Amino acid sequence: MTEPEIKHTILENGLTVVEINLPNFHSITNFLAIRSGSRYEDKNNNGVAHFLEHMVFKGTQKYSDTAAIARAIEGVGGNFNAWTSVDHTAYYNTVPTRQWQVGMEVPFELAFRPLLRAEDLDRERGVIIEEIRMIQDDPARWVHDISEQILFDGHPLGQSVIGNEKTISKMSLDDFGNYHKSHYNPSQAVLIVVGNLQGLSIVDEAKKLSEKLVAKPKSVIEKFVGASKKNIKIINKKTDQTHFVLASADASLALPADTTYTAEVLSTVLGRGMSSRLFLHVREQKGLAYSIHADVSNMEDTGAISIYGGINTPKMERALEAVAIEMKNMQEELVGQQELEKAKAMLVGHYDIIGDKSSELARWYGLGMLLHKKETLQEAKERIGQVTAEQIRDLAKIVFAKNKLTLAVVGPYKDDSMFQAFLAD
């Protein structure tokens, strides 16, 4: 993969504009990321960031309703979407190169010029509440929300991104206005434009689109200090399978630390793909799980490694024992050279694939710039290549320590004795 041409500009109002020129492309992706999300909320307005993301699509100063917004992008052959996470909200689209100005304009309209009308509020409130109920009807998805709650117990990072029925039912236009005013400002945003940018005045267009936006101080986050603490939460629900997430959070996994790359390789060896240890040993050899995998997530102040499993309920105890063996092996034994190189090749190949997709490039660089992970893809690949078996073992000792592990379970259990025994010292 050839490293793309990347240009950074910070406007007077604080907006960061990143241009990634891909000369042979026929489309342009626009990705606007903002420091917004559930970690910027409290217990009274939990869910407001996600709800606001829905509300802005109901109309802006230029585009009066959802249909007008959709026509602006889809009417030229493009596609668009948005999402909200714990620490960011993103608005993006991909359009043909000749429609680059429309593509740039729409995210600015959505993020900075929404109408936020009362008539849209109650209608969308019902949609959000139904989404909450849908998640709770999907144990494989719900268990991840529960895991976040106990992983960051008592901290804003532990709040649900979507909120809860109580907070959503009480949400008012003032709540949206106050949140928008506090967090939707150019100094908290990064615009990434990816595609054939030859001859296009991207920075000038960004200046024009944001000329009325005023720089404000960045929102202050409540940092998560230290590590997660042993915690178990069981949701007793009649299900055909037991779903669990075993997770650990530690400040050493915060961006942009070197340890984040060690964590990527560790989780790949342990549970990414059909050649990983968890898949081969827990599913294929022992037949204890339908689905099992490991993942890693990183934020500005912390990060987490998690293991998810969808287990045949009668086999749950044996599955946990098998997972425990794999974690112990990671703590006590060095990963073999062949397995280590396979994991690194898998990650480097993933980065190569990202480099061939404008939308993935925009997301990778956009969120990286927003959250202080400033390496290029090439630099990231080099960092992956430098990870050693000793570093993996040392990190496994930290993150898989029993006093840091949290266990979220959704399944037909009236007590947690089995799970308490699993996490016992």
Our count of domains for the chain comes to 2
Mean pLDDT of the chain: 95
- Within a domain: residue 391? yes
Q: Count, in order, helices (H) and strands (E) of the chain.
A: 16, 11
For residue 8, give the 3-state DSSP assignment: strand
**183 and 261 housed in the same domain:** no
- Within a domain: residue 339? yes
Question: What pLDDT sits at residue 405?
Answer: 98
- Within a domain: residue 292? yes
What the block records as the tokens of 366 is 């956009």
Q: Helices 389-399 and 316-332 meet at what angle, rounded to 10?
A: 130
**Any idea which of 44-53, 64-73, 366-375, 404-413 has the lowest mean pLDDT?**
366-375
- Within a domain: residue 217? no
**156 and 49 housed in the same domain:** yes
Averaged pLDDT for residues 15-25: 95
133-189 tens-digit pLDDT: 999 999 999 999 999 999 999 999 999 999 999 999 999 999 999 999 999 999 999
Question: What pLDDT sits at residue 2?
Answer: 63
Domain ranges, residue 23: 5-209
**268 and 202 housed in the same domain:** no
- Quick one: which of 412, 398, 419, 393 has its CA closest to 246? 419
381-403 tens-digit pLDDT: 999 999 999 999 999 999 999 99
Q: Give the CATH number of the domain where residue 46 resides.
A: 3.30.830.10
Q: How many CB atoms lie within 10 A of CB 95?
A: 25
- Within a domain: residue 216? no
Task: Please list, in sequence order, all residues whose beta carbon lies within 8 angstroms of the beta carbon of residue 268, skipping any fewer than 6 positions away.
Answer: 276, 294, 343, 346, 347
- What is the sign, positive or negative, of the torsion defined by CA atoms of 400, 402, 405, 407? positive
Question: What pLDDT sits at residue 311?
Answer: 96
215-253 tens-digit pLDDT: 888 888 999 999 999 999 999 999 989 999 999 999 999
275-308 tens-digit pLDDT: 999 999 999 999 999 999 999 999 999 999 999 9
